[in-house]
Structure 1
Amino acid sequence: MRKEIITSMALLAALTSASAKNKVIEDPSLKFSSTPVLGIDEIILGDTATTVKFSIEDTPGKTFTIASRAALYAGGQKYAYTSCSGITPDMATAVPAEGELHFTMNFKPVPSGTKTVDFKESESDKGWSIWGIHLDGKKEKVDVPAELRKQKLDREQPLPAIVPSYGYAEISGRLLGYSTDMNFSVSLTSTDMLTLNDETVDCTLSPDGSFTGKVMLCATAPIYLNVGEHRIELLASPGKSASVTVSLPGISEDNDRDDAKSIWFEGELSAFNDEYNSLDDDVTEKALYKWDFPEFKSSGIVPFKEKQLKTLNLIKANIDSDKNLSSVMKNYLKARTELAASINIITAPLLYRNMTQGKEAEVPADYYDEVISMNAFNNKFNAYTSMAPRLAQLTVAIARNNEKLYNLFKDNSELIPQLTYAQTVAKQFADFTPVSDEIKEAIKGNSPAFADKLFEMNDEVVARIEANKSKTGYTVHDLDENLKGADVFNNIISQFKGKPILVDFWATWCGPCRMGMKTIEPLKQEMAGKVTFVYVSGVTSPKNLWQNMIPDIHGEHFYVTAEQWQTLLSQFESQGIPTYVVVDKDGNVQSKFIGFPGNDKLKEEFEKALAK
């Protein structure tokens, strides 16, 4: 018995001694995290491992992947990943229902006395990174210029009038705490009012952390300043300039810092942007009732509408009671939140139909009454919101569903009616269809604010169609429309036997398809003459658009009937596109991929086929 007691005491002493050697840092300060969703809860420094406890906060159900090549870096040395719990590296993991996921990663031990380490998923600029993680317990500090610390802004300054006029908004600024070893980009994102495409342009980032960039706008509108994956929303105006100073530790650690303010604005609309970026979620549309898909599907649209209105009223009460908000911001937030709630209620029947595979929602006669009474569409502040470009589209949808709702748009600001017509014309250009002289005259009358831009877009389409006529490097092949079953695919590949073939099933409207084509381009050049690249599309792609896209896609092209398209997708059990099929030199299917598998995997397949 005495021996057992002594042995137990010795074990306890050993464990206590080992524990004492471990240093624990809770909520470590850091220089910058490339993403706002990844945080560090705790670091344990031991003799055999450095353990990092991570947390991810994001939308429930959203997936992410942490690479097994992730490592810690300090003093020019790499400390590799060894094991983890809570996730499986290199495999997608979904954020749970509560919106927060915790996991632990172990790395080779960093030397005692190390003051800071970096976490990187990759030594390149791909993947998540966190720089300057403090192991010494100190807080990361930045020097905020005195003029910003003492800055006083007039938050009651009215917003500028909305006058459609194209011009560049110039955005410059400084990243406090930046160092050249941080490999992330700074960019600006805006929404093209005519095409509704989000357009992102890179800023020029200097070694001292200063940056400059510009975006084309047609009126005062919200844009995003992207610092890594952090998105800072601000209003900008064409022909005007603004400056944004960002504390990198501040936006990474959010309100855990004593100096909670981390973004400062100067120049055009600085007071508004400063106030907007200091808001709590409970006064914005973020606090509106979220879709609960199982409940929505089972209970219908009326309970959803009631919860939308209930949370809307709570948000408006929070806005009214907040004494720190300017009257300008209060009016803006009310307009923005009422508009978001109205759009959610109006589009609920359509969403219900999509979720129930075509079943129509029961819409009571009084379903839209609150929306009509609220009349959120005619608030002048709508033009300053990110929803403004899509209001024109909504007008068309409403016209099909409810005359009373459609009438709400009749007294709308001048911008929306002009935009409605301009977007209809712009859609023709997306399909490579120039406008006639008659339509040009109609544009001048129906959309004068956008006429010059539409004429410029028309000239670009005409020039591109003409340029396409002289392009080479692609071939269009005819396929017998009467072919059925396995004969369809066999006829497509028959003339290319003797070399490995990559068959790419794609569509003109498929963003991932086009991204895959862009990514594979270096591999195509490397494999030129060794592998044949075949592209197959069908009637879901407008033929005129398809004909004007393929001159820039070098390879062999086929345009198949609707029946043949379905036959091909069924043959390869594809639930979506892009779908890729690798065929060996003898015409045998070697492998298939739904979604772009990456250049490394495709090269491996090509080399395997060439070696046969």
Structure 2
Amino acid sequence: MKRIWLFCMVAILSLVAHASAFRAREVMRPCFVTSTTTSFEISKIAFNDELTRVDAVFYGAPGDLAIISSATVLRAGNQRLRISEAEHLSIDGLTMPESMPQSGKMNVTLIFPPLPAGVHSVDLIEPDAHWGIYGIQLTSAEPYVFLPDFLQAMAEKKAEEKPLQDKLSAGKSSVNGYIFGYDTHYPLDIRLEIPDPFTNNTYAKTVKCKADGSFHIEADLLANTHVRLSLNKASFDCLLIPGEETAVYIHLPRVSMAQSHLLESKYAHSRRLWFDGAAEAYNNAHAIKKGTSLQSSSLLQTVTADLDRSSQVYKNVQKNLRVQDADKKLMSSISSPEVMAYLKLRMEGAIAQAERAKSAHGYVALELNSTLMGEDILSSIVAPYKGSAVLVDLWATWCGPCRKALRLMPALKQRLSNLDIVYIYVTCPSSPEAEWNALLPTIPGIHYRLTEPQWKSLCSTYQIKGIPGYFIIDANGKLQNTHIGFPGLDVLLKELQQALR
């Protein structure tokens, strides 16, 4: 009996010591460098010699199924540690997945093999859903970022915020960005969202980051304009001046963490942006303010008639890739020289983009404003092609019936080659981006890649319960027919002909 008692005591002490060792190596709300998701955030990472435990908060719409891929890994240096267990998440849907509660968030846990010795940060990567959290710190400190001395001097500089001259002036504005904390192992999607005076909406331009963390992007402007610059899921607003250059120095970890649910309170007011050049005092003053509302120039309201005429000309040039006689007549009625100069800048850009698409085997991939939802998605996609019939094909790279139908499209296009028809292909994030890009040259036409919320919203609005799906848009821009599943070449042929009547 005494031996049994001693054995039990030793076992209990061993478990206590083991648990203590486990708790001793844990980080609450670890800092990170950048993230390509807003639906998953790490609340704690704990590790010992036996396993690595990642506690997280999973965000989503009520009713969403909690599923994660078995290909999910922790990348630690050169090693990729594959997920072994999960709590409250179904791996590959092999067990009955839980549903997202009404709160829109749920606590989940991922279990991985033990981390190799000497690792200071890891990346959590979910390849099937195409998201990752990069540079996750294994200590309580934020990621180390070297900041040059002149940034400290810039932060201490009390520049007077003088009133900016607001006037109509067409010109290109340049943004030279310098990202501190960037690593070439991190994917980084840099987007500049620009208000469009022609549509009262926004359009986006993208650029790749150089290995040294720098980038350059330009915007055509008609007046002082507030734009939004996004780096993966983090974003900030700034003011650009036509014809001027703006430099922005970005602390990537702080910019990312300031927009994290779990770390926002700690980093929302941290210094993370430094501006130089045009409107530097204004931008630096607003860079540390939370919730600043940045409005478009009110001067555009003084030239609405000219903007309406310019908008029609621009749409025609996007469609025809040249200025026709009707466009020239409309342009002659534009009274504002600034609006005319701006229109010419935009037309030159549209034609250049089309020429690039033509040289890339007849396809073009366009960006859609990520805030558009429901009916606005379809109307925005087809708006430039009023007067033409439009076939919108909803597809995915992994969809066998979609791929089979795509192989039949050249025959349809050949039979309708004498008619004014635009072919648009819309896919969702479940199509692996690399595979999607590889397929684009084989699918002539106009391509869009929607966000997950946009795809769900579009399908819900039009009751699309499977793919391939098709919309036939008539020459007046109205939805004429909808199909779920490939209806056959003869049906599409007849309906597209009808759409032009």
- CA deviation after TM superposition for structure 1 residue 154, in Å: 2.9
1:105 corresponds, among 93, 105, 110, to 110
Tell me what 2:333 maps to. Answer: 443
1:130 is matched with which residue: 105, 118, 133? Answer: 133
TM-superposed deviation, 1:206: 2.1
Deviation for aligned residue 1:115: 2.5
CA-to-partner distance for each residue in 1:296-343, whole Å, 9 max, x for gaps?
xxxxxxxxxxxxxxxxxxxxxxxxxxxxxxxxxxxxx5xx6xxxxxxx
Q: Check the 8 A contact 1:535/1:556 in 2, yes or no.
A: no
Match of 2:408 in 1: 532
For residue 249 of structure 1, give the secondary structure of its aligned residue in structure 2. Answer: helix
Taking a change above 3 Å as real, the CA distance of residues 140 and 462 of structure 1, as seen in their structure-2 partners, is closer
Match of 2:340, as an amino acid? A
Matches within 5 A, 1:412-427: 413-423=301-311, 426=314
- Hey, what's the Cα distance between the residues in 2 that align with 1:195 and 1:175? 32
Paired residues for 1:273-422 under 5 Å: 273-281=283-291, 284=292, 333=293, 382-383=296-297, 413-422=301-310
Q: Which residue of 2 aligns with 1:117?
A: 122
Partner of 2:80: 78
Q: 1:271 aligns with which of 256, 259, 281?
A: 281
CA pair 76-430 structure 1, distance change in 2 beyond 3 A:
closer
Query: Does the 8 A contact of 2:69 with 2:126 survive in 1?
Result: yes
Distance 2:89 2:164 in 1: 48
CA separation of 1:209/1:520 partners in 2, compared to 1, >3 Å: closer, same or farther? Answer: same
Corresponding residue for residue 547 of structure 1: 420
Distance of 2:165 and 2:203 partners within structure 1: 24
Aligned residue number for residue 457 of structure 2: none
Secondary structure class of the residue paired with 2:74: strand
The alpha carbon displacement at 1:109 in A equals 1.7
Structure 1 equivalent of residue 152 of structure 2: 149
Contact kept? 1:32, 1:252, Cα under 8 Å: yes
One-letter amino acid of the structure 2 residue matched with residue 276 of structure 1: H
Structure 1 equivalent of residue 178 of structure 2: 174
Q: Which has the higher helix share?
A: 1
Q: Tell me how far apart the structure 1 counterparts of residues 348 and 29 of structure 2 sit (CA, whole Å).
A: 57
Is 1:184 paired with 2:188? yes
Q: Which has the larger radius of gyration?
A: 1
Query: What is residue 20 of structure 2 aligned with on the other side?
Result: 20
Partner Cα distance (1:70, 1:257) in 2: 28
Distance change >3 Å, CA 250–CA 548, structure 1 → 2 = same
Partner Cα separation in structure 1 for residue 443 and residue 77 of structure 2? 49
- Tell whether the 8 Å contact from 2:47 to 2:114 is kept in structure 1 after alignment: yes
Alpha carbons of 1:75 and 1:448: their partners in 2 closer, same or farther (altered >3 Å)? closer
Number of the residue aligned with 2:43 = 41
Residue segments in structure 2 that go unaligned for 5+ positions in a row:
259-264, 355-360, 363-376, 383-389, 426-439, 446-461, 471-482, 487-501
Q: Which has the higher strand share?
A: 2
Counterpart-to-counterpart distance in 2, 1:210 and 1:460: 23
Aligned equivalent of 1:346: none
Equivalent residue number for residue 29 of structure 1: 31
Q: How far is 1:133 from its partner? A: 2.1
Tell me the distance in 1 between the aligned counterparts of 2:86 and 2:310: 54
Matches within 5 A, 1:415-494: 415-423=303-311, 426=314, 436=326, 439-440=329-330, 443-445=333-335, 448-452=337-341, 454=343
Name whichever of 228-237 and 57-66 sits farther off: 57-66
Quick check: 2:73–2:82 contact (8 Å CA) kept in 1?
A: yes
**8 Å CA contact 1:204, 1:213 repeated in 2:** no
Please name the residue that 1:409 is paired with: none
SS in 2 for 1:443: coil
Q: Which residue of 2 aligns with 1:349?
A: none
8 Å Cα contact 1:153/1:270 also seen in 2: no
* Residue 6 (structure 1) shift: 5.6
Q: How big is the shift at 1:213? A: 1.6
In 1, are the aligned partners of 2:87 and 2:110 still within 8 Å (CA)?
yes
**Rounded Cα–Cα distance in structure 1 between residues aligned with 2:183 and 2:90:** 32
Once residues 416 and 244 of structure 1 are traced to their aligned partners in structure 2, the CA distance between those partners, rounded to angstroms, is 32
SS of 1:275's partner is helix
Q: With structure 2 as the length reference, what TM-score do the two structures score?
A: 0.63
The answer on whether the counterparts of 2:85 and 2:111 sit within 8 Å (CA) in structure 1 is yes
Distance 1:171 1:96 in 2: 42
- 1:81-137 deviation per Cα after TM superposition (whole angstroms, max 9, x unaligned): 1121233355799865545443211112213443222222239xx722223322244
Q: Give the direction of change, closer, same or farther, for the CA distance of 1:114–1:279 in structure 2 (3 Å limit).
A: same
- Given that 2:391 and 2:421 are in contact with CA atoms closer than 8 Å, whether structure 1 keeps it comes out as no
CA distance in 2, matches of 1:464, 1:214: 14
Does the 8 Å contact 2:269/2:289 carry over to 1?
no
Q: Is the 8 A contact 2:36 2:232 kept in 1?
A: yes
Q: 1:235 — aligned with what?
A: 239
SS in 1 for 2:205: strand
2:477 maps to none
Which residue type is aligned with residue 330 of structure 2? Answer: K
Residues 88 and 98 in structure 2, CA contact (< 8 A), matched pair in contact too:
no
Q: Compute the displacement of 1:52 (Å).
A: 0.7
CA contact (8 A) 2:45 2:54 kept: yes
Contact 2:316 2:327 in 1 (8 A): no
**Amino acid of the structure 2 residue aligned with 1:240:** E
Offset at 1:205? 2.2
Alpha carbons of 1:64 and 1:519: their partners in 2 closer, same or farther (altered >3 Å)? same
CA drift of 1:520 comes to 5.7
Aligned twin of 2:499: none
What SS does structure 2 have at the residue aligned with 1:436?
A: helix
SS of the residue aligned with 2:53?
strand
- Deviation string 1:163-210 (CA, Å, 9 cap, x unpaired) is 141x22111121111222222232323233214564333334222212
Which residue pairs with 1:576 in the alignment? 464
In 2, Cα distance between the equivalents of 1:527 and 1:20?
A: 58
Partner-residue secondary structure (3-state), 1:150: helix
Corresponding pairs, count: 400
Return the TM-score normalized by structure 1: 0.53
Q: Give distance in 1, aligned partners of 2:324 and 2:339.
A: 16
Shift of residue 461 of structure 1?
9.9
The AA in structure 2 aligned to 1:383 is: S
Name the residue aligned to 2:475: none
